């Protein structure tokens, strides 16, 4: 077994147990505005940084999808068929003259904006695997809504002049299905490095670690239009396992408006419901992470394709509005099953593929 393989297996073994620790967000309770942001900074500060080379290994758990493939937000088509898929490890690094030739490590908050310094240059909450060519086309341009595109990727990401009020320069616009993911990455960066941005060159979108007003307004809208997904919950847990801090805006989406628009009256409980199943496909067991606002422990079941209940899930409270359960599927025949969670009239279902 190689060192790299051993490292990947070690991450796989412990990722399933990642969750919000009891009391993790207690210092932020009852706060709004800048006071809340400073409290969150204190909670997620001083994470355990990894090396730049280790990012390739981290992607095996932070950005994996079915069949050992790479979850690339610059090429994926949510709900559709991606134009290409990369295999983790096999297709990493190198150069490209067009799309579909490999993936690399994209700093979604570009390195030039923070001076390529540590620990920002390896912080997994803003580093994602993306197609090499699309990454190069994005360059260091801010994210924004694009009016007339000068170039469009195969999944519909666009490069061109911004039509977002407050910024009219060149911009890169990701597809709608991942705008919320990237917005929450940016809110994390602005909070994690608040007050630690001395000497950051900045950008048209940022003043040090602070987001420009036009960017805040746009990113809040992206955040609201594209709510937290099961993919993000899984990724948040995986990154926490590696660097020992979390993205508060995935765990508590309401923190965005509580910081940047405290007069909005947003409720102070999680506003999203999601069910993440890992690993998926599975062969022996599946760990389930459920985010569901509820005053009681949700019930859960595993259904086969005929709708028959083949197992009952025993969810346990894991902090805030998160619950965990485990399904042992080693005695089931290969096929598609459905994990279902319900509470107080709220219901969510997620498919699980069992292989041998």
pLDDT digits (tens, 9 = 90+) for 212-238: 999 999 999 999 999 988 889 889 999
Cα dihedral sign, 109-113-114-117: positive
Domain spans in the chain, listed from the N-terminal domain onward: 3-264, 274-354
- Measured distance CA(137)–CA(71) in Å, rounded: 19
Q: Is residue 9 over pLDDT 50? A: no
Which of 275, 243, 280 shows the shortest CA–CA distance to 341?
275
pLDDT band at 274 (very low <50, low <70, confident <90, very high): confident
Q: How confident is the model at residue 184 (pLDDT cuts 50, 70, 90)?
A: very high
Q: What is the pTM of this model?
A: 0.77
Residue 7 dihedral angles phi and psi, to the nearest 5°: -65, -40
Q: Does residue 272 have a pLDDT over 70?
A: no
Which segment of 156-165, 185-194, 289-298 scores lowest on mean pLDDT? 289-298
Q: How far apart are CA 303 and CA 307, in angstroms?
A: 5
pLDDT at residue 149 tops 70:
yes
Residues 6 or more apart whose Cβ sits within 8 Å of residue 290:
274, 275, 276, 298, 300, 315, 322, 323, 324, 325, 341, 348
Superfamily grouping for domain 274-354: Immunoglobulins (2.60.40.10)
Q: What is the mean pLDDT of residues 244-259?
A: 94
Task: Give the pLDDT of residue 20.
Answer: 82
Query: In this structure, are residues 325 and 316 in contact, taking their beta carbons and an 8 Å threshold?
Result: yes
């Amino acid at each position: 077994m190689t060192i790299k393989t051993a490292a990947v297996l070690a991450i796989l073994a412990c990722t399933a147990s990642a969750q919000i620790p009891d009391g993790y967000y207690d210092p932020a309770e009852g706060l709004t505005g800048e006071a809340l942001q400073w409290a969150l900074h204190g909670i997620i500060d001083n994470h355990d940084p990894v090396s730049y080379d280790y990012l390739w290994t981290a992607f095996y758990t932070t950005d994996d999808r079915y069949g050992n493939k790479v979850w690339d937000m610059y090429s994926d088509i949510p709900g559709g068929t991606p134009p290409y898929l990369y295999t983790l490890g096999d297709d990493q690094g190198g150069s490209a003259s067009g799309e579909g030739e490999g993936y690399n490590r994209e700093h979604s908050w570009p390195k030039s904006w923070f001076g390529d310094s540590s620990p920002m240059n390896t912080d997994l909450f803003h580093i994602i695997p993306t197609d090499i060519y699309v990454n190069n086309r994005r360059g260091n341009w801010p994210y924004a809504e694009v009016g007339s595109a000068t170039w469009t990727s195969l999944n519909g990401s666009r490069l061109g002049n911004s039509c977002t009020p407050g910024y009219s320069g060149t911009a890169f616009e990701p597809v709608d299905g991942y705008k919320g993911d990237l917005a929450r990455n940016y809110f994390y960066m602005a909070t994690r490095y608040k007050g630690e941005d001395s000497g950051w060159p900045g950008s048209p979108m940022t003043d040090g670690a602070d987001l420009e007003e036009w960017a805040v307004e746009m990113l809040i809208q992206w955040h609201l239009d594209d709510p937290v997904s099961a993919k993000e919950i899984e990724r948040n847990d995986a990154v926490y396992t590696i660097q020992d801090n979390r993205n508060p805006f995935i765990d508590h989406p309401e923190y965005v408006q509580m910081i940047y628009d405290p007069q909005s009256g947003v409720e102070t409980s999680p506003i999203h419901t999601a069910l993440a199943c890992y690993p998926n496909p599975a062969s022996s067991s599946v760990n389930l992470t459920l985010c569901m606002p509820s005053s009681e422990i949700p019930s859960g079941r595993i259904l086969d394709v005929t709708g028959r209940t083949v197992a009952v899930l025993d969810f346990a409270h894991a902090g805030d509005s998160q619950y965990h359960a485990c399904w042992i599927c080693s005695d089931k025949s290969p096929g598609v099953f459905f994990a279902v969670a319900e509470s107080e009239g709220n219901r969510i279902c997620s498919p699980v593929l069992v292989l041998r």
